Chain A
């Protein structure tokens, strides 16, 4: 292990930070250069993420900033779970930045900088091993997302953005209260150190700790969009510019990732009296989110809202699966998370292409929106139409729509089906061989909800598809350029690869889930004293 590879761990944070900062100094007229730098760094991020994925497959990588030993200094940790999230983020980011090159990056100032800062926040939140550092990265990603949610301006976005910012500022304050309560009780903010101290807490302190983590959990679940805290999500996501919305589909997953990581680290099997604290609430909340998402999916008249409610269904499914627990279920839930995030990203971008073809008579709401957005849309299409428009546009769009529908509803032959099937199989296997008795009622309820949500998504997508593609009157064929279609196709292709390579991917997810369930390894890697000249050896597993 050379030191160059050791420093790879901090690249996903430093690279977007540096690139984003450099871009601030380039004038808006140098958009080509800005775009090139952004695409270049995003490609580099994809490469680094895959490198970390293979690295984390062997051992848990720990990066000690400034060389301080763990409970005192800040650490970055990459294990399998974090690496999977990094890869997912970078792939989605690449697709979304390429998509934005067609027109969206011209819709406002500093798009590329905010995009890169958002990536920095996301990567930092996935990598950090320290609660307060997590707060800082959370704020970085939120601040960038405020800017991106408003990108393109317009009254719908500003109104949605106002709610989004207010809700998230309140959430950040809750985050701080939770973190400081945890610090007040345990005296540490390092996640691994917390895991070792929690079993030794006295009963009084334990209650305070549980209060603190519950408050922290509310802040995280607010970000994930669990049911009673999710009303901001459809408005914001459907109002955001489509490449931004595509990238936002990973943002709910940050909350989910942190819940999974912290819950199992702090309240795993070895945490004494507070083991599995709040598990029932998580399960109920997750299932309520699925139900709410299903109702929303069925009642959405516009594609943007449909996609936003699909985000909720996906969030709810993963959260409930995490709450039910077990290595198999969590592994399948991770697979589902990856597959559904890629599909949602593709779907958000596809929506814009499809809706471009709808004329003003199609529905009344669209009219209102178009008149409002009209001014700037006109502005944007004025520059010369670069790139090639695709022949047989409707056929291509239709195929992509079909792909998204199959993925989101979980029908064969794509990865959505494999994800849901393995999830259900893992749920049923829980009770069978281990002598744990029959499958629990909650698992049956969850299983039913997952199937119903698939059916509802299918119905809604079919209805939307018929309305969009089979209506012959009053529509023009949208002008779609290769540069816009390619990212959608690439994300769908990623899902196809996920389907074909389901075996190795699934076993990686299982391994990721196993290492999250057995946090001893994580804790040991982080807290191990770094060796004198080669820190890499000290942190090996």
Chain B
């Protein structure tokens, strides 16, 4: 479980960073998206990994934290997902505007001279 999760975060973050450093705007936006997946998984992991545990107290067995997952990171992830979704959409618009203005999808708005 831990291994799979950490490998997943590592692969997502690694590919995200690599794509972020590429010169095409589409690669940048995919890179940012992958990075935000990695970060979201990381936040969940920071609440400790628990399998099959609810984050909400049940009426019958309240009082023992060992039976519950930490609800706070889950709330944080939810917020982070919403925010990164919105900013990605906004970035997409700017990306299209830039493509329209400059006629190229290079991040600097012009192709590098060869």
A143 is an interface residue with CB less than 8 A from chain B: yes
Q: Is the CB of A166 within 8 A of B90?
A: no
Question: Using Cβ atoms and an 8 Å threshold, which residues of chain A touch B6?
Answer: none
- Taking the closest CB of chain B, its distance from the CB of A375, in whole angstroms, is 12
Q: CB-nearest residue of chain A relative to B20?
A: A170
Among the stretches A48-56, A60-68, A175-183, A309-317, the one at the interface with B is: A175-183
A169 is an interface residue with CB less than 8 A from chain B: yes
Q: Is the CB of A176 within 8 A of B39?
A: yes
Q: Is the CB of B94 within 8 A of A180?
A: no
Q: Is the CB of B90 within 8 A of A180?
A: no
**Alpha-carbon distance A184/B45, docked complex (angstroms):** 8
Name B107's contact: one of A136, A162, A169 (CB within 8 Å).
Answer: A162
Q: Is the CB of A150 within 8 A of B35?
A: no
- Taking the closest CB of chain B, its distance from the CB of A424, in whole angstroms, is 41
Q: Is the CB of A176 within 8 A of B80?
A: yes
Question: Using Cβ atoms and an 8 Å threshold, which residues of chain A touch B54?
Answer: none
- Taking the closest CB of chain A, its distance from the CB of B9, in whole angstroms, is 10
Q: Is the CB of B86 within 8 A of A173?
A: no
**Alpha-carbon distance A487/B76, docked complex (angstroms):** 41
Interface of chain A residues 162 through 197 with chain B (CB within 8 A): 162-163, 165-166, 169-170, 172-173, 176-177, 179-181, 183-184, 189
- Taking the closest CB of chain A, its distance from the CB of B52, in whole angstroms, is 21
Q: Is the CB of B94 within 8 A of A165?
A: yes
Chain B residues within 8 Å of chain A by Cβ, number: 34
**Alpha-carbon distance A179/B83, docked complex (angstroms):** 15
Q: CB-nearest residue of chain B relative to A184?
A: B46
Q: Indicate with 1 or 0, residue by residue over B85-110, a CB within 8 angstroms of chain A CB atoms.
A: 01110110011011001100001110
**Alpha-carbon distance A252/B102, docked complex (angstroms):** 29
Q: Indicate with 1 or 0, residue by residue over A131-145, a CB within 8 angstroms of chain B CB atoms.
A: 010011001001100
**Alpha-carbon distance A434/B109, docked complex (angstroms):** 57
Name B42's contact: one of A135, A165, A180 (CB within 8 Å).
Answer: A180
A180 in contact with B79 given A158-B94, A162-B98 (CB within 8 Å) = no
**Alpha-carbon distance A161/B72, docked complex (angstroms):** 34
Q: Is the CB of B94 within 8 A of A146?
A: yes
Name B97's contact: one of A136, A158, A173, A184 (CB within 8 Å).
Answer: A158
**Alpha-carbon distance A177/B91, docked complex (angstroms):** 21
A159 is an interface residue with CB less than 8 A from chain B: yes
A162 in contact with B94 given A132-B76, A169-B87 (CB within 8 Å) = yes
A172 in contact with B87 given A159-B109, A162-B25, A183-B72 (CB within 8 Å) = yes
- Taking the closest CB of chain A, its distance from the CB of B81, in whole angstroms, is 11
**Alpha-carbon distance A135/B82, docked complex (angstroms):** 13
Q: Is the CB of B36 within 8 A of A173?
A: yes
A176 in contact with B43 given A159-B102, A162-B94 (CB within 8 Å) = yes
Main secondary structure of the interface of A (DSSP, over half): helix
**Alpha-carbon distance A176/B38, docked complex (angstroms):** 11
- Taking the closest CB of chain B, its distance from the CB of A301, in whole angstroms, is 20
Question: Using Cβ atoms and an 8 Å threshold, which residues of chain B touch A189?
Answer: 72
- Taking the closest CB of chain A, its distance from the CB of B30, in whole angstroms, is 12
Question: Using Cβ atoms and an 8 Å threshold, which residues of chain B touch A146?
Answer: 87, 90, 94
**Alpha-carbon distance A132/B32, docked complex (angstroms):** 20
A477 is an interface residue with CB less than 8 A from chain B: no
Interface of chain B residues 56 through 80 with chain A (CB within 8 A): 72-73, 76, 79-80
**Alpha-carbon distance A309/B17, docked complex (angstroms):** 29
A505 is an interface residue with CB less than 8 A from chain B: no
Q: Is the CB of A143 within 8 A of B73?
A: no
Question: Using Cβ atoms and an 8 Å threshold, which residues of chain A touch B88?
Answer: 169
- Taking the closest CB of chain B, its distance from the CB of A9, in whole angstroms, is 23
Q: Is the CB of A180 within 8 A of B46?
A: yes
Question: Using Cβ atoms and an 8 Å threshold, which residues of chain B touch A166?
Answer: 20, 28, 32, 91, 107
A-B contact pairs, 15 of them (CB 8 A): A150-B97, A154-B101, A155-B102, A158-B101, A162-B94, A165-B90, A166-B32, A166-B91, A173-B36, A173-B39, A176-B39, A180-B76, A183-B46, A184-B46, A184-B47
B residues contacting A by CB (< 8 A) are 20, 25, 28, 32, 35-36, 39, 42-43, 45-48, 72-73, 76, 79-80, 83-84, 86-88, 90-91, 94-95, 97-98, 101-102, 107-109
A residues contacting B by CB (< 8 A) are 132, 135-136, 139, 142-143, 146-147, 150, 153-155, 158-159, 161-163, 165-166, 169-170, 172-173, 176-177, 179-181, 183-184, 189
| With A155-B102, A179-B76 already in contact, 10 other A-B pairs whose C-beta atoms are closer than 8 Å | A135-B79, A139-B87, A158-B97, A158-B98, A159-B98, A162-B98, A166-B20, A170-B32, A172-B87, A173-B32
